[in-house]
């Protein structure tokens, strides 16, 4: 099947998701939160960041906040409201092939997040996100004995995200100490064969705390299940220079994330009350993915694509039902790392472009 056929099938599935979402919505429900208002600076929002594009530990992308999905508080009947519980996400990442001995990648993915109210159940009910991703590859050539990657790979599965509170509402430490948990099970493979090697668990477990008026902390682990790295520590500090300001617009205008492996600086752009929350950000990450593919020299095996990335991006959030963002960056220290080959095949650096919309 050609690349065009795969892309057509992917777009048809995405269109069906859009139609289902639009049909179920109806009028915008009223709520106490004003669209376009500045998000709360309470601790549970302090770890927010744009989702890495094309990342395997978070293949569906970071879900939109539950406050954004609900536009306010929940009544008992709201638990069954499809409109208030879902977010449709579409994203695209382009890593151009920089020379015949390097890998080029178009990563296209879609997901739907079903979110339940966190405060009613102390965050014990997960956000559930099914996703599908399609990777269209070019190169590398076989001149170095690497062996070409397949023309198409895919990943699909289900991810659950929790944000449990350790103390009930009304307690002094409610929303002061909490956890951020995620667990995903997916199939990562080429289209010609699927067996047990294609199934991977990914996830993260982090304990977070608001420690001072301008600081919060995180510590935990992230499970990648790649050849190069299975488990990696995550954590660090998040600094809000205007954390003591009574003006919430100023309080959330700058965020500095001293976090490993996802450092980031976020700056909120000036705007009016009815304008979206517009952010500029500079971020880094350990990027890549892992699939089970057929290789002429080694048969069916897992292969990593790993890189390091720095990106400059823009986000517009909260003004309407449609949030969007885009970024441009550079990927370096790129490599292909095969399960049955101890040698890592390094590749030259390249720029990349990415974008996403959340409806």
3 state DSSP class of 18? helix
- pLDDT tier at 26 (50, 70, 90 boundaries)? very low
Q: Of 2-11, 28-37, 47-56, 168-177, give the lowest mean pLDDT range.
A: 28-37
- pLDDT tier at 354 (50, 70, 90 boundaries)? very high
Q: What angle do CA 308, 314, 318 make, to 5 degrees?
A: 125
What was the pLDDT predicted at 198? 95
- pLDDT tier at 122 (50, 70, 90 boundaries)? low
What was the pLDDT predicted at 189? 95
Q: Domain total for the chain? A: 1
Closest CA to 60 of 258, 204, 164, 255: 204
3 state DSSP class of 70? helix
- Identify any residues that bridge with 107 across adjacent strands, giving them in sequence order: 93, 135
For a pLDDT cut of 90, what percent of the chain falls above it?
43
Domain assignment of residue 84, given as a range: 3-358
Structure tokens at 160: 């659950």
Q: What is the mean pLDDT of the chain?
A: 75
For a pLDDT cut of 70, what percent of the chain falls above it?
67
What was the pLDDT predicted at 211? 87
Which has the higher per-residue pLDDT, 120 or 266? 266
Which has the higher per-residue pLDDT, 116 or 91? 91
- pLDDT tier at 118 (50, 70, 90 boundaries)? low
pLDDT in tens, 76-100: 333 333 344 578 999 999 999 887 7
Helices (H), the chain: 3-25, 66-70, 82-85, 248-251
CA atoms within 13 A on the CB side of 8: 5
Alpha carbons 275 and 174: distance in angstroms, whole number: 31
For residue 248, with 0-12 CB atoms within 10 Å meaning exposed, 13-18 middle and 19 or more buried, which class applies?
middle
**CB-CB contact of 84 with 69 (8 Å):** yes
State the Rg of the chain over Cα: 21
Alpha carbons 304 and 301: distance in angstroms, whole number: 10
3 state DSSP class of 308? strand
> In degrees rounded to 5, what are phi and psi of residue 194?
-140, 125
**CB-CB contact of 96 with 359 (8 Å):** no
What was the pLDDT predicted at 25? 41
């Amino acid at each position: 099947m050609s690349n065009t056929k795969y892309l057509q099938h992917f777009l048809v599935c995405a269109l069906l998701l859009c139609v289902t979402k639009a049909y179920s919505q109806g009028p915008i429900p009223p709520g106490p939160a004003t669209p376009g208002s500045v998000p709360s600076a309470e601790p549970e929002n302090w770890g927010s960041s744009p989702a890495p594009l094309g990342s395997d530990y978070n293949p569906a992308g970071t879900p939109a906040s539950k406050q954004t999905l609900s536009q306010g508080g929940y009544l008992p009947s709201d638990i069954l409201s499809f409109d208030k519980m879902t977010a449709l996400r579409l994203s695209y990442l382009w890593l151009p092939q920089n020379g015949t001995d390097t890998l080029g990648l178009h990563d296209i993915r879609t997901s739907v997040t079903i979110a339940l109210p966190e405060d009613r159940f102390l965050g014990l009910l997960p956000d559930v996100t099914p996703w599908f991703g399609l990777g269209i590859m070019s190169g590398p050539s076989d001149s170095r004995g690497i062996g070409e990657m397949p023309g198409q790979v895919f990943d699909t599965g289900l991810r659950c995200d929790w944000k449990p509170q350790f103390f009930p509402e009304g307690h002094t430490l409610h929303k002061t100490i909490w956890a951020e948990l995620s667990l995903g099970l997916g199939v990562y493979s080429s289209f010609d064969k699927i067996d047990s090697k294609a199934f991977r668990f990914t996830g993260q477990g982090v304990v977070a705390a608001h420690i001072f008026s301008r600081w919060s902390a995180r510590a935990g682990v992230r499970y990648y299940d790649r050849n190069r790295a299975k488990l990696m520590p995550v954590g660090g500090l998040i600094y809000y220079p205007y954390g003591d300001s009574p003006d919430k617009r100023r309080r959330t205008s700058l965020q500095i994330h001293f976090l490993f492996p996802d450092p980031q600086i976020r700056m909120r752009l000036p705007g009016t009350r009815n304008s979206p929350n517009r952010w500029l950000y500079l971020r880094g990450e350990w990027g890549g993915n892992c699939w089970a593919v057929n290789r002429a020299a080694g048969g069916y095996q897992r292969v990593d694509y790993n890189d390091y990335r720095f990106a400059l991006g823009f986000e517009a959030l909260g003004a309407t039902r449609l949030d969007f963002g885009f970024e441009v960056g550079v990927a370096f220290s790129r490599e292909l790392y095969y399960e049955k080959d101890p040698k890592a095949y390094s590749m030259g650096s390249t720029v990349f472009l990415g974008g996403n919309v959340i409806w």
